[in-house]
Amino acid sequence: MLFVLLVSGIIALLAASVYYLFALERREAFRAHLKSRANYSAQLYDLLGDSAYARLSGMDSSLSAGFLPRRTIALFQAGEPPVFQFQGKDTQRFALDPQTLQAVGRTGEAFFTLDTREAIALKRRAGGKEVIVAVAARDVEGLARLDELLKILLGSLPVSVLLTAIAGSIFARRLIRPVTTIIREVNDLSSDNLAHRIDAGDNKDELSQLADTFNRLLDRLQESFDMQRRFIANASHELSTPLTSISSQLEVALQRERGGAEYKQVLLSVHEDVIQLRRLTRSLLELAKADTSGGMELTGVRVDEVLLKVASDMGQLRRQYIVDLHFGEFPEDEPDCLVFGSYELLYSAFRNVVENGCKYAADHTVEVHLYYARQGISVCVTTNGNPINEEDYDKIFQPFFRGGTAGDYSGWGLGLTLARSIIRLHKGTIEVTGDRDLRSTTFIVTLPPSSAKV
């Protein structure tokens, strides 16, 4: 309805503009005719003097009524009655009022109305004296065309409004139909049928882009829900394993009386399972904490200091773990050396990557290279021997996933997941590459310096 009113208003404004411009053009054209006729009379009087009266009278009498219909022509001398006047049929004689005479004296010409006719008065010098030539007529043909135009515009206006309403209704239905479809399909979505996608159609308009945007959002939501389901299933399984072991050992121990040594052995085994359960729970809590930045204290962190701390702790964790550090040239500006984030979380991320490398490397040695650039700070962690299979590159960051080369090494597959969550939280990226010939695996972590706007 608003669209119809708006378009109707525009059409009405356009019609009014056409009528006004046509009326203005008609008036100016007819005034030009009046002025031309007045100039002709003044020139004829200048050439023939008083003898021009008979010539003017005869000429005006012989001209057809179609040329300046209902015309009246008069010549005045200052302060005197008309010295010549031709009066057509059913016309009024000239009587110039003082205001018209003043206007003529001031500007040399004046347009005015005489009964229902348009008139002009010109001041000219003819025959050695100043005369005022006045011509009045009615633009019958022009006014008839103007009336006809008005009838056409008034008749076409409701037709235009009706056609606009019909076209607007059809267009609105066609426009709203895909929107209604999108709304219905989105309302039908739930966590149980996220695999359903909105039909974007073949058009490349804004609605198609909106549907594509919804589909990409659904892709991300489905991926998140799938990861959540896998996480819950895997977490339940991993948590149930030590609990089942503890329960089984206690049930067996309680089936009959045993000696102190046997009870001690059972308690030690249960204690190991409890420690494993506690570590798993702590890893799950750290992973949940890394998925949000809420409450995280942000400061400028030097990545080289974090890596030195990680290398020192690896030696204390296992004597055979060796971390070979290589630092590139440090930038002159200190902000380019810093990462804006949490020291504890970044330490946890690099510790997990480096510890994984030391654990699975053939010689338990990793090489860590630190590079500085204005675009970002890069850390490369490289291990030799026992490389990760290429088909596992996209899976190793999933919770509880353990690659084919993990073997009998202990762990739950949460370290790299935690590392990626922390790196992403700091607006960074982590990638993995490998070299088959060298049988090496390299993790590349890139973080924006604190000088960059992220």
b/e string for 396-434 if b means 16 or more Cβ within 10 A? bbbbbbebeebeeeebbbbbbbbbbbbbebbebebebeb
Q: Give DSSP secondary structure letters for 284-329.
A: HHHHHHHT--TTPPPEEEEHHHHHHHHHHHHHHH-TT-EEEEEE-P
Residue 226, helix vs strand vs coil: helix
- Per the listing, tokens 């348009």 go with 118
- % of the chain exceeding 70 in pLDDT: 79
User: How much is the pLDDT for 64?
Assistant: 46
Residue 367 to residue 380: CA distance in whole angstroms: 8
Q: Which of 293, 277, 285, 274 is CA-nearest to residue 418?
A: 285
pLDDT score recorded for residue 251: 81
Topology classification of domain 206-290: Helix Hairpins (1.10.287)
Confidence of residue 5 (pLDDT cuts 50, 70, 90): confident
Determine the residue type at 158. Answer: P
CATH 3.30.450.20 fits 2-145, yes or no: yes
Element (H, E) at 357: helix 343-360
What is the rounded distance in angstroms from the CA atom of residue 131 to the CA atom of residue 122?
Answer: 8
Q: What is the pLDDT of residues 225-258, one digit of tens each?
A: 776 766 666 566 556 656 777 788 788 777 888 7
- Of 108, 71, 63, 107, the residue nearest 87 (C-alpha): 71
pTM across the whole model: 0.46
Q: Which fold has domain 299-447?
A: Heat Shock Protein 90 (3.30.565)
Q: Left (φ > 0), alpha (ψ -120 to 50) or beta: where does 137 sit?
A: beta
- Reduced to 3 states, what is the DSSP secondary structure of residue 440? strand
Q: What is the pLDDT of residues 301-356, one digit of tens each?
A: 899 999 998 888 888 778 888 899 999 888 877 778 888 888 888 888 898 889 88
Cβ 430 vs Cβ 423: under 8 Å: yes
Report whether 87 contacts 72 (CB < 8 A).
yes
Measured CA to CA, the distance from residue 357 to residue 382 in angstroms comes to 7
Give pLDDT, residue 201. 67
Q: How confident is the prediction for the chain on average, in pLDDT?
A: 79
Residue ranges of domains in the chain? 2-145, 206-290, 299-447
Average pLDDT over residues 164-191: 77
